[in-house]
Amino acid sequence: MYSGFRAHRHENPNTNSTSILSGIEIPNHPSFSTSSDDCDFTTPEKTESSQSVKLHLKKRSLSGETPVAGKDSLYQSTANDWTRIQTLHKRNQKPRKTHLGKDGLSEKTVSPAPAPVPEMETYAGKLMGTLKSGVTLGSGEYFMDVFVGTPPKHYSLILDTGSDLNWIQCTPCHDCFEQSGPHFDPKQSLSYKNISCSDKRCGLVTSPDPTRHCKPEESDSCPYFYWYGDSSNTTGDFATETFTVNLTTNVDGVKERHQEVKVENVMFGCGHWNRGLFHGAAGLLGLGRGPLSFASQLQSLYGHSFSYCLVDRNSNESVSSKLIFGEDKGILSHPELNFTKLIGGTEAPLDVFYYVHIKSVIVDGKTLDIPEKTWDLSSDGYGGTIIDSGTTLSYFADPAYNIIKSAFQTKVKRFPLVTDFPILEPCYNVSGVADYKNYLPSFGILFNDGAVWNFPVENYFIKLEPEEIVCLAILGTPRSALSIIGNYQQQNFHVMYDMKKSRLGFAPTKCADV
């Protein structure tokens, strides 16, 4: 672990427990119906109208009961959050080794070229799928259901805005983690194509060690290596494949019609060596800013924006969330929609992350006196704040965290302080008080451009059962590390990533009703 982190405050006393942070196991299920009357595998006609893609996000429960948070899951959640944070921080400074050409050029740090735009049809309507929270399975991330290959086969992939490579565990799997269902077999797909090591697209991925020389006349596959931390990584063949997704179009402006659409030539990693805390996932679907992400590759079909709305993590498994590619009129017409600028270009040293510029934090209506330099992003990749779907809680750099924690301790008078809880603080005993939320201070983030993101109590206090203890769902990181707005604070907000205008939108929404 990165030496700057205060690991003693985030020890994991139960190393055998399942993480609520790093992966989600979701059994197969009929997310995309192929037998209903209004669904088929046809490709819709080309159209000049605006396009958008909507994907359902669902929770998954083993028992069917509403899940509750407990100490064990929180221990594992923070432990894996810290692993992820050190990974994100290291990735800012890690040089990227490219494949070497026949001239044997030396390795150097490079910025990837724009991804080649595949020949794809543009579609009208909203692309549909399912996203699920893995809280009941020991994970704090969300899964998306996709169909891959020809004929299409179902896989559940972790949704991650903090990385850009899409990848799936493939046969032969020489060193792989356990997943639900079989591995992807490229030999059984008619649409699978290896990308040659001499293909320009091969330069978009990092080469494994040792870096392999490739001659232009060679047709060998392009090997890739992508890492997420000391023990999490994937290595295999860089390839293209057909991803089947569920398209929703309006019929007569009223009734929605669903049909499944094949998106061809999606670049992805066919992983033969994969290690990490992915807990039953078949792989990962990257939504980062990089050219390889699923969001970037869909820009030629649906434009330069996507959004999601994450349901309450403790909601019933039948409740679904949404992921939408393209312009979504629902969020754009929301009366409480607010935007803040996404930092990009020379301001952001790594093109994969979605950086925002925080100015301060508001507690109980008062803007805290936090030195603005606390939030600064340096040119060498230190500091800064990202919004990330793959991190559960929110993490703010010291001294911001200490000032925030102190502000809550000063304001909360109604409940006794719990001083022996080893992970989060402050914590309070709210037993016997049904309306405890009314006695907790308000909380919001003030951005540098004046935008304010106000959160409901359940997004910044986590209730632990059966102890009836509520704790501030925020932790601190060293000054040089990233600050992160995690998915716990994003619950029941429609969050929009608008790359064309370089802005992040957010609107309070009952996500189950979207």
Task: Give the domain CATH number at 273.
Answer: 2.40.70.10
Q: pLDDT digits over 154-208, tens only? A: 998 888 898 899 999 999 999 999 888 899 999 999 999 999 998 999 999 998 8
- Alpha-carbon torsion (34, 164, 158, 237), positive or negative: positive
Max mean pLDDT range (83-87, 128-132, 347-351, 487-491)? 487-491
Q: Can you give the three-state secondary structure of 310-359, one letter per residue? A: CCCCCCCCCCEEEEEEECCHHHHCCCCCEEEEEECHHHCCCCCCCEECEE
141 within some domain: yes
- Asked if 263 and 243 count as a contact pair (C-beta separation under 8 A), the reply is yes
- Return the H-helix or E-strand segment holding 194: strand 193-194
Model pLDDT for residues 344-353, shown as the tens digit of each residue: 755 555 578 9
Number of domains composing the chain:
2
Give whichever of 138-152, 398-412, 458-472 has the largest mean pLDDT.
398-412
Mean pLDDT of 137-152: 80
Share of the chain above pLDDT 70, in %: 67
> Could you tell me if 24 and 133 are in contact, meaning their C-beta atoms sit under 8 angstroms apart?
yes
User: pLDDT higher for 254 or 185?
Assistant: 185
* 8 falls within a domain: no
pLDDT at 512 over 50: yes
37 lies in some domain: no
Boundary of a domain, candidates 325, 349, 374: 325
As a whole number, mean pLDDT of residues 9-27 equals 29
Are 260 and 351 members of one domain? Answer: no
Residue predicted with more confidence, 411 or 344: 411
Do 506 and 400 share a structural domain?
A: yes
Q: Which residues contact 387 (CB under 8 A, 6 or more apart)?
A: 161, 354, 356, 484, 485, 490, 495, 504
Phi/psi region, residue 308 (left: phi>0; alpha: psi -120 to 50; beta: rest), is beta
| 50 compared with 11, residue with greater pLDDT | 50
Average pLDDT of the residues of the chain = 76
Query: What mean pLDDT do residues 306-334 have?
Result: 80
Per-residue pLDDT band for 12 (boundaries 50, 70, 90) equals very low
- pLDDT tens digit string along 34-69? 333 333 333 333 333 345 555 554 443 333 344 445
Closest alpha carbon to 483 in 472, 474, 473 = 474
How many other C-beta atoms can be found within 10 angstroms of the C-beta atom of residue 201? 18
Q: Which amino acid is at 448?
A: N
Residue that wins the pLDDT comparison between 75 and 29: 75
- In three-state secondary structure terms, 299 is helix
Peptide bond between residue 416 and the one before it cis (omega within 30 degrees of 0): no
Residue 444 scores a pLDDT above 60: yes
* Contact of 257 with 251, CB cutoff 8 Å: yes
> Same structural domain for residues 132 and 281?
yes
Q: What's the whole-number mean pLDDT along residues 271-298?
A: 89
Average pLDDT rounded to a whole number, residues 366-388: 89
Q: Would you state the pLDDT for residue 22?
A: 27
3-state secondary structure of 310: coil
Radius of gyration of the chain (CA): 22
Task: Record the tokens describing residue 313, joined without a space.
Answer: 């993590």
467-480 pLDDT, tens digit per residue, is 899 999 999 988 77
DSSP 213: B
Active site residues: 160, 388
Enclosing domain of residue 137: 127-325
Rounded CA-CA distance 289/344 in Å is 10
Is there a domain that residue 158 lies in?
yes
**221 DSSP assignment:** B
* pLDDT attached to residue 381: 73
Percent of the chain with pLDDT over 90: 41
User: What residues contact 235, with CB distance under 8 A and at least 6 apart?
Assistant: 208, 223, 224, 225, 226, 271, 272, 273, 274
Of 276, 310, 325, the residue that ends a domain is 325
87 CB-side CA count, 13 A: 21
**Residue 227: which of 251, 209, 245, 212 has the closest Cα?**
209
Beta-bridged to residue 251, according to DSSP, are: 255
Q: Would you state the pLDDT for residue 101?
A: 41
Residue 59 is assigned to a structural domain of this protein: no
446 lies in some domain: yes
At residue 481, does pLDDT exceed 80? no
Same domain, 142 and 208: yes
CA distance 440 to 378: 35
Same domain, 262 and 348: no
Residue 359: in which H helix or E strand, if any? strand 358-363
Tell me whether residue 441 is in a domain: yes
Same-domain check for residues 340 and 402 = yes
**196 & 318 share domain:** yes
Residues 237 and 351 in one domain: no
Distance from C-alpha of 167 to C-alpha of 286, rounded to nearest angstrom: 8
Token pair 């189950």: residue? 512
Contacts of 258 (CB under 8 A, 6+ apart): 33, 36, 38, 39, 128, 246, 247, 248
Q: Identify whether residues 416 and 364 lie together within a single domain.
A: yes
Q: Is 486 helix (H, G, I), strand (E, B) or coil?
A: coil
d(CA 258, CA 462): 37
Establish if 211 belongs to a structural domain.
yes
Supply the DSSP symbol for 10: G
SS3 per residue for 81-131:
HHHHHHHHHHHHHCCCCCCECCCCCCCCCCCCCCCCCCCCCCCCEEEECCE
Average pLDDT of the residues in 438-449: 97
Q: Is the same domain home to 157 and 212?
A: yes
Using DSSP, state whether 49 is helix, strand or coil: coil
Boundary of a domain, candidates 270, 300, 325: 325
Q: Of 237 and 326, which is predicted with more confidence?
A: 237
Q: Is the pTM of this model over 0.85?
A: no
Q: Is 171 in the same domain as 301? A: yes
Give the mean pLDDT of 296-318: 81
**Kind and range of the H or E element at 410?**
helix 400-411
Of residues 228 and 58, more confidence is placed in 228
Co-location of 337 and 418 in the same domain: yes
